[in-house]
Amino acid sequence: MSLKGKRILIAKPGLDGHDVGAKIIALALRDAGADVIYTGLRKSPEYIARIAVDEDVDAVGLSILSGSHNELVAETIKLLREMDADDVKIFVGGTVSGDDVQKLKVAGVAGVFTSEMKIEDTLAELSDVLG
């Protein structure tokens, strides 16, 4: 299993400006051989879903540290489904409490990562799901 050649969109939905985690993961994924697209800050779920479809990505990583993950993730998943792109795996990174991790998984998220997880563990989990 490897991340080589996987197409991954790292996105910042909503107004949250904390982009360190998103950039660290983008850099690490690229070094692991993935094709990484990073959106930059302040993108709407519509924009993210459209890029995901246009770029035919395997996975979208949504980075949210403002506490608005439930709303923004649900909206992105809904839009991807409407665009018949439900095969795209959704991951979430950020400040997410234990209860919300379960909620997000029920909503269809394939994995949730917080800042205290090791990068190598995050990459391994991504590779398992996408491999």
User: Is residue 54 a contact residue for another protein (CB under 8 A)?
Assistant: no
Q: Is 64 helix (H, G, I), strand (E, B) or coil?
A: strand
Question: DSSP secondary-structure letter at 105?
Answer: H
User: Is residue 38 a contact residue for another protein (CB under 8 A)?
Assistant: yes
Is-contact 73 66, C-beta < 8 A?
no
Is-contact 95 42, C-beta < 8 A?
no
Is-contact 39 12, C-beta < 8 A?
yes
Q: In the complex with another protein, which residue's Cβ is closer, 29 or 84?
A: 29
Query: Mask 55-84, x = binds another protein (CB under 8 A)?
Result: -----------xxx--xx--x---------
Binders of another protein: how many residues, by CB under 8 A? Answer: 35
In one letter, which amino acid is 47? Y
Query: Mask 88-117, x = binds another protein (CB under 8 A)?
Result: -------x-xx---------------xxx-
Write phi, then psi, for 80 (nearest 5 degrees): -65, -40
Chain residues that interact with another protein, rule: CB under 8 A: 14-20, 23-24, 26-28, 30, 36, 38-42, 44, 66-68, 71-72, 75, 95, 97-98, 114-116, 118-120
